[in-house]
Amino acid sequence: MSARPGVVYLVGAGPGDPGLMTARSLELLASAEVILHDRLIPAGALAGTRPDAELIDVGKRPGGAETAQREIEDLMTERARAGRSVVRLKGGDPFVFGRGGEEAEALAAAGVPFEVVPGVTAGVAAPAYAGIPLTHRADASAVAFVTGHEDPAKEDSGLDWDALARFPGTLVLYMGVRRLPEVTERLVAAGRDPGEPAACIERGTMPGQRTVTATLTELPEAVAAAAIGPPAIVLTGPVAARREAIAWLERRPLHARRVVVTRARAQASGLAAALRALGAEVIELPAIRIVPQLDSAEVRDAVHSIHAYALVCLTSPNGVRLLFEALAAAGRDARALANATVAAIGPGTAAALTEHGIRADIVPERSVSEALVEALREIEVAGRPVLVARAAEARDVLPEALRERGAKVDVVALYRTVAEEPDAAAVDTARDADYVTFTSASTVRNFIDASGGRLPERARIVSIGPVTSEAVRQVGLTVDVEARRHDPEGLIEALMADASSD
Ligand code: SAH
């Protein structure tokens, strides 16, 4: 259900991994008119918001001041009273050490209707990703969530250190690591076992999550040695020792590998998601964007007389998608291709055709024009009308070869690819990458333009196939890995093989 006007939603955004955002939170973010968010929210959390949504960052900026609590409450109240739907997006769970309780009270006092959407709290999520079960039949039948933010030196810190030391179970501390030496000292002084297993988890569920384990007394030193910074969760209790057997995050095949994906945004997500699922940290640098040009006279003519072509060649999944869009716009469907032989340049394009109910007659294994030219040798084309539907800027190998064999070839550009201005921060992170992947020649050229000469220094370059590799070499770079199968799965396979060999 979408966000209702005049209502404030106090929404938990989870600990950082975008995949841990709730379905409800995504639904509300997609429909809200006003979003007030903390600084620390999952990457891409705001990607699905309405283009006209008012986004207000009320978080603390490095070096800057955060918006005062009172001001946040006033903003929410005012926007809701103006009849707008408001999401107040908070890290983790809104009611766990996030002042969500105070915000709800302020709304209640102001008579503004509100709802609370729980989130996955860092104290549960970070240990889970670190392979530490908070409870265990043998080790812990209770868990305490504790804030270590308060100054433990203060007499009225609000924490009963004696009770915490005696607590028969796991202690989970939400806190700044600066306080760790004092906190452990207080706990041990109050009687907590100094040799108890403990852990500190930095950036839980986010790219680059790190975990340090030690005994309770040795933890501060280990944390300092590893230069652990915020945000971090500290945990103490026998369960911490179970990480040794359970740690799973670090065992994923692409763990701690930073991979740049340079496909056009529309296509990047599939490749990026597959790489993330294998543990990679993915930086999406959409180097190109697809601009459809379905209104051109040549496209309209081709669609109008599509039934007349003996052979229809498609050279990319985008081309397939757009051809069917153009057909649909003209009130037609897959039956318009009933009489034609349909050729796809490779398995990816063939798969896109299958989605539209067409099984390609010709599919070379390698997605390059030369392979398609070769595969088309078995088709009689002399004197027959042929349609090549593709991108505006493509090589002419295919139409030329067909014309040489006497075909009457119409080349129709369904779309253009244009350079995308990449996010400066993403370009910066990309410089530090382990791998840069290229999935077409145009992504290579545009990536080079976009990065303004600031190329990744030690990254290995992975290319989807020979044509892309050639483009990589043309810009003076070296191809380290070339996929044997020229589709995203083939590229991932090649990258994994390379990653496991070092
Ligand atoms: N409402 C939030 C907690 C806010 S208090 C929640 O439910 O998670 C902020 C503290 O949470 C930080 O100081 C840190 O101790 C912890 N924290 C938040 N996100 C974290 C993360 N991704 N990894 C480790 N600790 C995190």
Residue 499 tokens read as 């990653």
CA of 48 to the centre of ligand 1 (A): 24
pLDDT tens by residue, 235-283: 999 999 999 999 999 999 999 899 998 866 555 568 888 999 999 998 8
Question: How many CB atoms are closer than 10 A to CB 291?
Answer: 11
Q: In a mutational test of the pocket of ligand 1, which residue from 97, 117, 201, 234 has the highest number of ligand atoms less than 8 Å from its CB?
A: 97
Tracing tokens 């340049």 back to the chain, one arrives at 345
Q: Which residues line ligand 1 (CB under 6 A)?
A: 15-16, 90-93, 96-98, 121-122, 126, 174-176, 201, 203-206, 230-233
Question: How many CB atoms are closer than 10 A to CB 1?
Answer: 7
pLDDT tens by residue, 8-55: 999 999 999 999 999 999 999 999 999 999 988 998 899 889 889 999
Q: In a mutational test of the pocket of ligand 1, which residue from 10, 172, 233 has the highest number of ligand atoms less than 8 Å from its CB?
A: 233
- Nearest protein Cα to ligand 1, atom 5: 97
Output the pLDDT for position 438.
92
CA of 142 to the centre of ligand 1 (A): 20
Residues 6 or more apart whose Cβ sits within 8 Å of residue 105:
none
Beta strand spans in 149-231 (E): 170-175, 197-202, 210-215
Active site residue 38: yes
- Nearest protein Cα to ligand 1, atom 9: 174
Output the pLDDT for position 283.
86
CB 447 within 8 A of CB 456: no
Residues 6 or more apart whose Cβ sits within 8 Å of residue 226:
210, 212
Whether the bond between 231 and the residue before it is cis, its omega within 30 degrees of 0, is yes
Output the pLDDT for position 105.
97
The radius of gyration of the chain from alpha carbons, rounded to an integer in Å, stands at 28
Q: 37 - beta bridge partners?
A: 57, 89
CB 315 within 8 A of CB 398: yes
Output the pLDDT for position 407.
96
CA of 406 to the centre of ligand 1 (A): 68
What is the position in ligand 1's atom list of the atom closest to the CA of 119?
Answer: 7
Average pLDDT, the chain: 91
pTM for this predicted structure: 0.74
Exposure class string for 427-445: b at 16+ Cβ within 10 A, else e: bebbeebbbbbbbbbbbbb
Order across the sheet with 210-215: list the strands: 143-147, 170-175, 232-236, 197-202, 210-215
Q: Which residue ranges in the chain fall short of pLDDT 50?
A: none
Residues 6 or more apart whose Cβ sits within 8 Å of residue 212:
199, 200, 202, 219, 222, 223, 226, 228
What whole-number distance in Å separates Cα of residue 263 and Cα of residue 271? Answer: 9
Active site residue 60: yes
What whole-number distance in Å separates Cα of residue 207 and Cα of residue 203? Answer: 8
Output the pLDDT for position 426.
77
Output the pLDDT for position 468.
94
CA of 17 to the centre of ligand 1 (A): 13
